[in-house]
A and B are shown apart, each in its own frame.
Chain A
Amino acid sequence: DTGVSQNPRHKITKRGQNVTFRCDPISEHNRLYWYRQTLGQGPEFLTYFQNEAQLEKSRLLSDRFSAERPKGSFSTLEIQRTEQGDSAMYLCASRWDRIPGELFFGEGSRLTVL
């Protein structure tokens, strides 16, 4: 499978715990994006990387959220001290910046905070 891969697909955690999601983009894609999607809504931009550099973060990304892409390949999104409002689908997408705009999404990681 050469698409965007996300793990885990589902995570149930108790409020206050930390969780980490991983995204493996399409191999030749140098840009990687994280989006959040809540029930009945469209995806909302969180942050993006060009290679290993995190170039933009949304105001939605509170201090409890941190994302990394250490070698410009896979990325992790960590949420510390989870809150019930963090429950959502976390989507990763990637693209090759020589083709403007076209984003390919993974299947998402669904987080449920009890």
Chain B
Amino acid sequence: GENVEQHPSTLSVQEGDSAVIKCTYSDSASNYFPWYKQELGKGPQLIIDIRSNVGEKKDQRIAVTLNKTAKHFSLHITETQPEDSAVYFCAGGGGAGTASKLTFGTGTRLQVTL
């Protein structure tokens, strides 16, 4: 099955700086890669996703890139704000026979300091 690894486990940036979180996956059949933001005591919230037929996707301050050959994808947050502080999870899945169930990374705790 799919295995997703995520780095770093913690990330501290100053407000206004950029943050980058990286993930690798193992199953070449995976074709869907979402990113979720989870705040304390809440469920994961989808913030952006990318499919394997696309190399990059951007939504305001958030962008995701995908390198299918290397099997890695990254989340980029620019102009970070204190409200960006949360745990971010990458996930992979959607390959044939997976019923689109997702395999998650272990999370990155992002702290944006003033």
Name A residues whose Cβ lies closer than 8 Å to a Cβ of B.
Answer: 4, 6, 31, 33, 40-45, 48, 50, 55-56, 91, 95, 97, 100-108, 110
Interchain CB contact under 8 A, A104 and B46? yes
Given contacts A40-B106, A44-B104, contact A102 B99 (CB under 8 A): no
| Cα–Cα, bound, A42→B102 (Å) | 11
- Chain A: which residue is nearest B4 at the CB level? A42
Please, which residues of chain A bring their CB within 8 A of the CB of B100? 31, 95, 97, 100-101, 103
Q: Are A56 and B34 in contact (CB under 8 A)?
A: no
Chain B residues within 8 Å of A42, by CB = 4, 6, 89, 91, 104-107
Contact B49 A101 (CB under 8 A): yes
A4 to B43, CA, bound (A): 10
Total number of A-B contacts with CB less than 8 angstroms? 70
CA distance A110 to B49 in the complex (A): 27
**Cβ contacts under 8 Å, A56 to chain B:** 99, 101
| Residue among A43, A103, A106 making CB contact with B46, cutoff 8 Å | A103
| A57 → B minimal CB distance (Å) | 11
Q: Which A residues are in CB contact (< 8 Å) with B31?
A: 100-101
Say which residue of B45, B93, B103, B106 sits within 8 Å of A105 (CB atoms).
Answer: B45
| Contact A40 to B102, CB < 8 A, known contacts A102-B46, A102-B49, A103-B34 | no
Is A40 a contact partner of B107 (Cβ separation < 8 A)? yes
CB-CB under 8 A from A107, the residues of chain B are 41-43
Q: Which residues of the partner chain B approach A4 to less than 8 Å between Cβ atoms?
A: 43
